[in-house]
A and B are shown apart, each in its own frame.
Chain A
């Protein structure tokens, strides 16, 4: 860097000298310190830094290469989703929550819809096929989310092959999402009362192809990483957090399971029929970043097992409803997929436009006014790829949510960053944060 770079200027403040570092210019900082260099350096890492997983800002106090204090600055991706939802109908709310944690959209939708269904008192009336489809999509989503975590985590420590193959497999998963829901992300597919559409023709064949592909290729991650000495040297004993620490800080998900404790809401408080599936909860006993990696890796295999069971069940469920039978809640769900991916139901249009005026009125009221939800509050927590994702939904008996709050696992887990990083090296901060897998869309909402 030359001294004339307008983005890398040096200025004096009351706190000391401030350098703006843009990369490969450490020399200018060292020479700028003069004859009496200060031992303590406060480094502002982020919010725009490729290895902070989005717009996370880390404030690190360094003494040489070691981190003496570390803090998080968040809020750079706050978009007021919870506030916006209070002005839209209950069904439109799904479109908002799916954008919170953008790597696990189906979990946001599911948590919200389960809470709305509890408020409506229709939990027992959700069709079986809708539940199987929810589980199918959620488990596929767990795979795609863990793949991003492992891929970006690998990239940050220089394991670029892990990144390229990770995104290759993720793309296969997103192709399935596109086929089933019409969109690669922001699906708004799980709706209060069921799901938006039935499986399109040929989807089961694609799912089977996907399972075959994944069974063949999921092994590669283990072969590349599990015993790789560089990988192990970077991950082992980094970001240590034991069970007591996890409990005190409200940490859930893979960080808890890496301490050897099999805390998983799918087993302890099953929802959507998880108690009827055969799967294990993988754990590891090292409480470190390597353990979290191994837990995620094993979880993908378990998720694939569940996906396979879902496919078997869906095969026998052809033609069954995917939306609750109550016409006051369920939107007409049997839509035909048009050239643009989503579409109308021609039968339904014929019915409301040509045959029944009452049906048209009902359709109009349901879509513009929406349904009313009895007053009260509900809290539903599900096991997202990052841990306990809770939706606290309050209704005042109206057509819009009175208040929706998401307890996002990324938000809660990120509180463990200081305890995992302080006392370690700067390079280990990257690994420790990556092992928590925070997604800023969920943290800031």
Chain B
């Protein structure tokens, strides 16, 4: 969070026994109410806010996280796991996209890991994070060990390819189609990567941050209220 307005943050309790990860700044925002360039008469023009996501966590991670991470690293080798983030009691492994299928195979089959249940993939678009704009976020459940794990894979906007894990987890079939539909992430090796929610001939990928909401003005008694994405808002 920014140092300019920490008092606006609700009080937080020290959650979990995991160490607090170092924040990783991905974006810098200026002003308020979405005013860009000149003409900002709001008086908030010099306000700065850094968007910082939880960054890499140093060892030890606590709980079962160390054992599982070491086990996985031993199976797929060094370098496959780019970053380990332990935040709010959840374990996130950032995986190199070339290694994703191999990692998933081990997650499913290895006795010490045994993540049988894939809860699907969802996309997140960070337009300011150059070279890692598109993130695919996978959630897995190990019923055997009663654990949850999250894998995060990123791809640049110019080369939006991530290998498909449908061969390992057939459950991910529709989820990958949905993420392709909404974010334009191409899952290489998917048996039939077609749009699933939007019509087949729809242009663009609606969940990307640069895709407009498409609302229309609301008029009431002569006053015009713009749609939510073009309204003044706190940034």
Chain A, residues 233-249, CB within 8 Å of chain B (1/0): the string is 00000000000000111
CA gap between A403 and B182 in the complex, in Å? 12
Asked if A437 is an interface residue, CB under 8 A from chain B, the answer is no
Cβ of B49 and Cβ of A397 under 8 Å apart? yes
Beta-carbon contact of A377 and B137 below 8 Å: yes
Partner of B1, one of A374, A378, A394: A374
Q: State the CA gap A326–B10 with chains docked (Å).
A: 8
Q: Number of residue pairs across A and B with beta carbons under 8 Å?
A: 158
Which of B13, B90, B197, B213 has most A Cβ within 10 Å?
A: B197
> What are some 7 contacts across the A-B interface (CB < 8 A)?
A74-B196, A88-B228, A250-B170, A328-B10, A378-B88, A381-B148, A388-B119
Distance (whole angstroms) from the CB of B7 to the closest CB of chain A:
10
Is B51 a contact partner of A396 (Cβ separation < 8 A)? yes
Of chain A, the residue at the smallest CB distance from B195 is: A75
With both beta carbons as reference points, the residue of chain B lying nearest to A88 in the complex is identified as B228
Mostly, the B contact residues are mixed
Contact A83 B13 (CB under 8 A): no
Q: Cα distance A89–B176 when bound, in Å?
A: 28
B119: A residues at CB distance < 8 A? 250, 379, 381, 388, 390, 407, 412
Contacts known (A392-B139, A397-B1, A444-B197); A402 close to B11, Cβ less than 8 A? no
Q: Mark A54-91, 1 if CB is under 8 A from B, else 0.
A: 00000000000000000000110010101110011000
**B235 partner residues in chain A, CB cutoff 8 A:** 398
B203 in the interface (beta carbon within 8 A): no
| Interface locus among A44-52, A97-105, A113-121, A131-139 | A113-121
Contacts of B51 in A (CB 8 A): 375, 396-398
A374 to B11 CA separation, bound complex (whole angstroms):
10
Please, how many residues of chain B have a CB less than 8 angstroms from a CB on the other chain?
60
Contacts of A400 in B (CB 8 A): 233-234
Complex CA–CA separation, A328 to B8 (angstroms): 8
Residue numbers in B under 8 Å from A371 (CB-CB):
10
How many Å lie between the Cα of A340 and that of B180 in the bound state?
A: 44
- List, in ascending order, chain A residues with CB within 8 A of B170's CB: 248-250, 415
A385 to B119, CA, bound (A): 17
Residue from B89, B137, B199, B206 in contact with A80 in the complex, judged by beta carbons closer than 8 Å: B206
In the assembled complex, A411 has its CB within 8 A of some CB on chain B: yes
B52 within 8 A of A: yes
The one of A75, A251, A263, A372 in contact with B9, judged by C-beta atoms closer than 8 angstroms, is A372
Chain B contacts of A122 at CB under 8 A?
10, 12-13
B173 cross-chain contacts in A, Cβ below 8 A: 415
CA separation between A407 and B173, bound complex, in Å? 13
Known: A78-B198, A118-B15, A249-B171. 20 other contacts (CB 8 A): A83-B207, A84-B213, A84-B228, A87-B229, A121-B12, A247-B116, A250-B169, A251-B171, A328-B10, A372-B10, A375-B51, A375-B54, A377-B87, A379-B119, A379-B139, A388-B119, A397-B51, A405-B122, A411-B175, A415-B171
* Chain B positions within 8 Å of A118 at CB level: 15, 88-89
Chain B residues, CB < 8 A from A412: 119-120, 171, 174-175
How many whole Å from B64's CB to the nearest CB in chain A?
14
Contact of B49 with A87 in the complex, beta carbons under 8 Å: no
- A337–B70 Cα distance when bound, in Å, is 56
Say yes or no: is B103 at the interface (Cβ < 8 Å to chain A). Answer: no
A329 to B12, CA, bound (A): 11
In the complex, are the beta carbons of B174 and A415 less than 8 A apart? yes
Per-residue interface assignment for chain A, residues 387 to 431, with 1 indicating a CB less than 8 Å from any chain B CB and 0 otherwise:
010101010111110110101000110110000000000000000
